[in-house]
Amino acid sequence: MIDLHSGVPRHRQLADVLRARIVAGDHPPGTLLPSETRLSQEYEVGRGTVRRAVGILRAEGLVDVASGRGTRVRSRAPELEELIGEPDQLVTARMPTPEERARWQMPEGVPVLVVRQPDGLMDVYPADEYGVRIPRG
Amino acid sequence: MIDLHSGVPRHRQLADVLRARIVAGDHPPGTLLPSETRLSQEYEVGRGTVRRAVGILRAEGLVDVASGRGTRVRSRAPELEELIGEPDQLVTARMPTPEERARWQMPEGVPVLVVRQPDGLMDVYPADEYGVRIPRG
DNA sequence: TATAATTTGTGCGTATGTATA
DNA sequence: TTATACATACGCACAAATTAT
C-alpha cells in the first residue's frame, strides 16, 4: 500500500488510501476508523505519520476526531439552510478565524461564507449549514 | 509569552501569538518570519512545537512555507474576480479535494465556492480569487 | 463508585533528506 | 562546496478524555 521510495511522503500516501476507502464506502459515515496505533501497525508506519494523514482528512472535513473516542467518518452533506441573496451583495468564502469557529462551534475543515453588502458591511455564515440562493428578478 | 502551566498546548499558544503579531502588522505581508530554530529559542519551545504552530497558520492560509527559504507571511489579495450569479443558483463553500487544489494550484487553507445550478450541475471556483455577485432584478 | 483499558493529544529528541542561498 | 532552513519520519513518554469492567 505504502511505497517508501515513491517520493510521495508516506503521510500523504496514507491519507490518499484512507480517503479512497472512505469515499468507496469501505468506512461508512458514522463509523470509527481503526485507532492510530492499529493503523500504524497495519500500514507499517509510525504513529506520527498516521496522525499527519488523519490530520489531512480532518482539514478536508472528511472525519471528526475526538480525544479518547476515536476518529469518526463525518456524515455527508446535511441540509443547507438557504439565505436569500440581495442585489449587489458579493458572496465569497474563507477559512474562519479561531474566534468564529468557537462562536459557532464549527468543526475543523469547514469554511465560512462571507456576504458583503454594497456599503461594506459583512455577514459571515458557516458553510456547512448555510447557502446563498440567487433570487429571481 | 508561553505559559507552560496554562493547560493550553504550547503549539497553540505559539500559533496564537504569531497570528496576533501578524494581524497586528508586526510581521507585514511578504516578510519572512524568523526561522524555526530562531523561534524555538525565542519562545523556549522545541522545534517540533514551532513547526506545529506554523502548521496551524499555514492551514489557515496566513503564511506560506517553502523549504530552504523560510516562512513568508502571505499577502492578502482581496482582489476578487466577480462572477455574476444567475437566478435560482445556490452558492455555498467547502474545502477543495486534492485534485481540485492541484488543478488550480490553490494554496493551503483556501476553500472553494460551489455554485449549484437548479438542474444539479455544479461549478467550483477557488474562493481566494472569485466571488459571486448577486445581480439586480 | 472506582479502576483499568483504550484512544487521542502533546512534547521531546533524533536522524535523514531536500531545497536554497 | 558549505551552511542554513525546511520536510519527513521514527520512537518514546506521559497527559487527558472516554469507555468498558
Encode pLDDT of A59-82 as tens digits.
888 999 999 999 999 987 668 899
Domain contains A3: no
All residues of chain B having their beta carbon less than 8 Å from the beta carbon of residue A86 are 134
Same-domain pairing of A118 and A93: yes
Domain contains B19: yes
Question: B88–A60: do the CB atoms touch at under 8 Å?
Answer: no
| pLDDT, position B28 | 83
- Helix A10-23 and helix A47-59, axial crossing angle in degrees, nearest 10: 50
| pLDDT, position B113 | 96
Q: How many residues does chain A have?
A: 137
Encode pLDDT of A108-130 as tens digits.
888 999 999 989 899 999 999 99
Distance C4 C1' – A33 CA (angstroms):
23
CA distance A104 to A56: 22
Same-domain pairing of B21 and B64: yes
Asked which of B54, B73, B92 is the last residue of a domain, the reply is B73
Same-domain pairing of B69 and B90: no
Check which CATH number belongs to the domain holding B25 and give it. Answer: 1.10.10.10
Same-domain pairing of B85 and B117: yes
Same-domain pairing of A20 and A60: yes
Domain contains A4: no
Domain contains B3: no
pTM over 0.85: no
Domain contains A2: no
Domain count, chain B: 2
Asked which of B73, B89, B124 is the last residue of a domain, the reply is B73
Same-domain pairing of A105 and A65: no
Q: Give every residue of chain B whose pLDDT is below 70, as ranges.
A: 4, 6, 76-78, 137
Encode pLDDT of B59-68 as tens digits.
887 888 877 7
All protein residues with a CB under 7 A from any atom of strand C = A 33, 35-38, 48, 51, 65-71; B 9-12, 45-49, 52, 66-69
User: For the purposes of burial, counting CB atoms within 10 Å of the CB of A120, is it exposed (0-12), middle (13-18) or buried (19 or more)?
Assistant: exposed
Nearest to B108 by CA among B123, B96, B124, B99: B96
Q: Which residue is nearest to nucleotide D6 (CA to C1')?
A: B67
Same-domain pairing of A50 and A67: yes
Q: Which residue is nearest to nucleotide D15 (CA to C1')?
A: B7
Question: B131–A59: do the CB atoms touch at under 8 Å?
Answer: no
Question: A90–B82: do the CB atoms touch at under 8 Å?
Answer: yes
All residues of chain A having their beta carbon less than 8 Å from the beta carbon of residue B19 are 98
- Nearest nucleotide to the CA of B66, by C1', is D6
Same-domain pairing of A54 and A85: no
Same-domain pairing of B101 and B122: yes
Same-domain pairing of A63 and A100: no
Over residues A13-31, the mean pLDDT reads 94
> Does A1 reach chain B within 8 Å, measured CB to CB?
no
Task: Supply the DSSP string of B6-74, one letter for each residue.
Answer: SSS-HHHHHHHHHHHHHHTTSS-TTPBPPPHHHHHHHTT--HHHHHHHHHHHHHTTSEEEETTTEEEEP
Distance C5 C1' – B77 CA (angstroms):
51
Same-domain pairing of B50 and B90: no
The parent domain of residue A26 ranges over 10-73
Same-domain pairing of B61 and B103: no
